[in-house]
Structure 1
Amino acid sequence: MAGKRGFGSIRRLPSKRYQPRYTGPDGLRYTAPHTFDTKLDAEGWLTDVRREITADTWRPAGAAPPKYRTVGDYAESWLTARTLKPRTTEHYRQLLDRLILPTFADTAIVAVTADGVRRWHTSMPPRPTQRSHAYALLKAILRDAVDDGLIPANPAHIRGAGSARRAHKVKPATLAELAGLVEAMPPKYRALTLVAAWCGLRFGEQVELRRKDVDLSAGVLHVRRGAVRTKTGISIGGPKSAAGVRDVSVPPHLLPMLRKHVYDHAAPGREGLLFPAGHGGTLAPSTLYKVFYPAREAIGRPDLRWHDLRHTGAVLAASTGATLAELMARLGHSTPAAALVYQHAADGRDAIIAAKLSELANPKG
């Protein structure tokens, strides 16, 4: 005969001893490893089990203590175990400290619920990109917790929460604007501006180019490294992704100016930086912006960001009829989705396409 109670149940065996049973946090049914002389003793055992569950110290009989009891413990180990770019590590650290751990640091991993994740996501500041990055990071951490056997399923499953619409609508520079921008820049920065736009290099890739990476006879830039600025200083490593290691052909019309720049402004020696700072070291974004901001004002484009020049390069390359694969190779992207971020309809291109469609309908001759 079994007696019902608020937590678990107790049955009296034919031997007249009492056997308690309960359902654990993992959803499985457990029976006490031994029986009791009195029902009161069995109830006391169930009370002790319930306290363990409430305090998150419960574990199945014979199981090892969990290595990570809280989200905070697991997240710290998760971040330490990963080999990431310095900027990525810094970014994840900020997301954890500012947005994730204030809510979940002391929460037992097994206690994280879909409801709790939704409430946390709703309570975050209304900054779409930051929210999506924080959610994606928490989801990745919890996904690995599932793989490690700490939780049965990932409670982070809010549709679309890991992506955000681009907050800044990019308007690539026109050829006339680009020419005006170059003219407004000091001579030392003109080649840098042209390479950003016509070759589509990232700023970190540009400032790590060295004389040995420039093949003027073949008209090729060998992109092999990238500079990343973090709170602790400048870190030199590989480009943003494996696909970032590439050779980029320089449009022939840029070669005379690039050749002159190497002669006038590049640091000496094969290891000399192509676009050095005034002190000879790595050029900082803040130094560039001191001349770039007035130049963009001069052409009436105060909205133009330096990174938008890379978008401009993508549009110019696309307007030549380059395939997606060719654009991916030129921009240093490993996935089509990444390359498509930089695709925009070049002004006047649609009219050209329409004209070519008419040629198909009415072929000459």
Structure 2
Amino acid sequence: MVRGKGRQDRKSGTFGSVDRLPSGRYRAQYFGPDGRRYKAPTNFLTQQDARAFLSVVQADIIKKAWQPPGVEVAEEVKLTFEEYAERWIKERDLGDRTREDYRDWLDSHILPVLGRYPIGSIEESDIRLWYGKLNPDTPTLRARVYGLCTTIFNTALTDKKVPVHRNPCCIKGAGSAPRAKVIRPATLGELETIVMTLPPRFKLMALLATWCALRFGELTELRRSDIDLPRRRIYVRRGVVRLKSKTRGIPVRKVKSPKSDAGIRDVSIPPHLIPVIEDHLRDHVGAGLAALLFPSVTDDTEHLAPSTFSRHWYRACRVAGRWVEGDSDDPDGKDHADLTLHDLRHTGAVLAALTGATLKELMDRLGHSTPGAAMRYQHTANDRDTAIAVALSKFVEPESDIDDPGNGRATLRPARRPRPSGSGSRRRPRS
């Protein structure tokens, strides 16, 4: 028989091809979803049997249950998304707070809609329909829930026992959300007012959050042994995480290492803070090396509760003018501070950048492992843009008509009046 004659005899519109071999048997071939050509594992006595095999393969492809030959067949072809998600979160190496968040997002937003479907049958249209029902008024939560769903499907793609061949989460930009809050770093004047308004036991918290860029969880776990005054160092080795679970109605707090190696760091203390730290250690910290710098008000062996600090923080923000009165334009309609203790890290990052610190140095000081995370803390100092504009003019003006007294307030010199054409004395040409 002429080679390739079977393909020439193939009927238009049929799936795959059936070739008659010199032995009289029939060989079935087809192109899989991955674009590769595959042969049936055996030859057939009749053309009808070969066509029946191709029909079964085509049905598996349509149902998204097809597996390439040689790949282990899925143990559970009808494995639901909920069953796989439960297995996924159980086997995942997650932090306690992250696990709680993922559990909440699955139970509240993902499983009620997608959980009952076989994971291999979920298509892009199903994801779009589900995503469209997520609350658009909470864009950050919406993006994080979508991102979790995407991550679960990405893991399923690498699991040969799970019948998923394509991630249906293909909505462009759905996994990211614009920053809901535009952070305005505190000025030095506002910082001074806040520190002077806070009770004495909390003044150093605001100062360390700014000048040493420490987080609330890092501050509340600092102990006397973490402060090295002779070397002017703070050793950041641990932090407190507040979990959603409660014991006797009180949220559980867990001491743990930073989530990245970059979070474990030695932070240099600016010299002007040394006297303040010495006073705080003397007046508000126990004598033992394990004594907390900022303990609970009622028990100096327990960690400070965020709600306790917040009452004093809100009052200080109000005095400093960093308070927003609730109105109809506000999403919550409530009075609130437009500055948090964590936002003081932004002030510290700006001040550090103005000293000429490089991005790598800022990453080390802030405890960030990626440049992108550190860049989120970069802001333009109030008068820097004017100073930059003044400096730019010097490239094109040999004799600058701009005076900059050094306070960022540039003033223009009076423009020179051009000399009328033909006026004034002229030099005689040399003879």
Please, what TM-score do these two structures have when normalized by structure 2?
0.72
TM-superposed CA distance for 1:297, in Å, is 0.7
Separation in 2, partners of 1:100, 1:53: 26
CA deviations 1:332-358 (Å, max 9, x no partner) are: 000010011111111112223334445
Q: Pick the aligned partner of 2:261 from 235, 242, 245.
A: 242
* CA spacing shift, 1:362–1:183, aligned 2, 3 Å: farther
Tell whether 2:161 aligns with 1:140.
no
Return 224-233 or 74-83, whichever deviates more. 74-83
Return 170-179 or 269-278, whichever deviates more. 269-278
Paired residues in the alignment total: 361
Correspondence 1:251-330 to 2 at 5 A: 251-278=270-297, 279-280=299-300, 281-302=302-323, 303-330=338-365
Q: Pick the aligned partner of 2:124 from 114, 117, 120.
A: 114
CA deviations 1:198-247 (Å, max 9, x no partner) are: 11111111111111110111111100001100023111111132210001
Tell whether 2:226 aligns with 1:213.
yes
* CA spacing shift, 1:351–1:72, aligned 2, 3 Å: same
CA deviations 1:274-329 (Å, max 9, x no partner) are: 11112121111111101111111111102112211111111111122211111111
What is the one-letter code of the residue matched to 1:91? D
- Partner SS state of residue 234, structure 1: strand
Return 160-169 or 175-184, whichever deviates more. 160-169
Tell whether 2:106 aligns with 1:96.
yes
Return 59-68 or 153-162, whichever deviates more. 59-68
What is the one-letter code of the residue matched to 1:74? Y
What is the one-letter code of the residue matched to 1:316? L
Residue pair 1:56, 1:108 contacting (<8 A) in 2 also: no
Q: Match for residue 75 of structure 2?
A: 66
Separation in 2, partners of 1:104, 1:256: 59
- Partner SS state of residue 100, structure 2: helix
Correspondence 1:155-234 to 2 at 5 A: 155-232=168-245, 233-234=252-253
* CA spacing shift, 1:185–1:58, aligned 2, 3 Å: same
Q: Match for residue 131 of structure 1?
A: 142
Please list every run of 5 or more consecutive structure 2 residues that lacks an aligned counterpart in the other structure. Answer: 1-10, 21-27, 246-251, 324-337, 401-431
Residue pair 1:92, 1:137 contacting (<8 A) in 2 also: yes
Separation in 1, partners of 2:114, 2:39: 29
Residue pair 1:319, 1:349 contacting (<8 A) in 2 also: no
Separation in 2, partners of 1:104, 1:310: 40
Separation in 2, partners of 1:345, 1:322: 14
Residue pair 1:212, 1:271 contacting (<8 A) in 2 also: yes
Separation in 2, partners of 1:53, 1:322: 57
* CA spacing shift, 1:67–1:199, aligned 2, 3 Å: farther
TM-superposed CA distance for 1:177, in Å, is 0.2
TM-superposed CA distance for 1:267, in Å, is 3.1
Alpha-carbon RMSD: 3.7
Separation in 1, partners of 2:67, 2:76: 12
Separation in 1, partners of 2:184, 2:129: 36
Separation in 2, partners of 1:157, 1:309: 37
Separation in 1, partners of 2:390, 2:238: 43
Separation in 2, partners of 1:235, 1:332: 20
Q: Pick the aligned partner of 1:331 from 339, 357, 366.
A: 366
Residue pair 1:8, 1:21 contacting (<8 A) in 2 also: no
Q: Pick the aligned partner of 1:79 from 70, 73, 89.
A: 89
Residue pair 1:215, 1:221 contacting (<8 A) in 2 also: yes
Separation in 2, partners of 1:128, 1:249: 37
Please, what TM-score do these two structures have when normalized by structure 1?
0.84
Please list every run of 5 or more consecutive structure 1 residues that lacks an aligned counterpart in the other structure. Answer: 14-19
What is the one-letter code of the residue matched to 1:178? L
Residue pair 1:226, 1:240 contacting (<8 A) in 2 also: no
Separation in 2, partners of 1:53, 1:158: 23
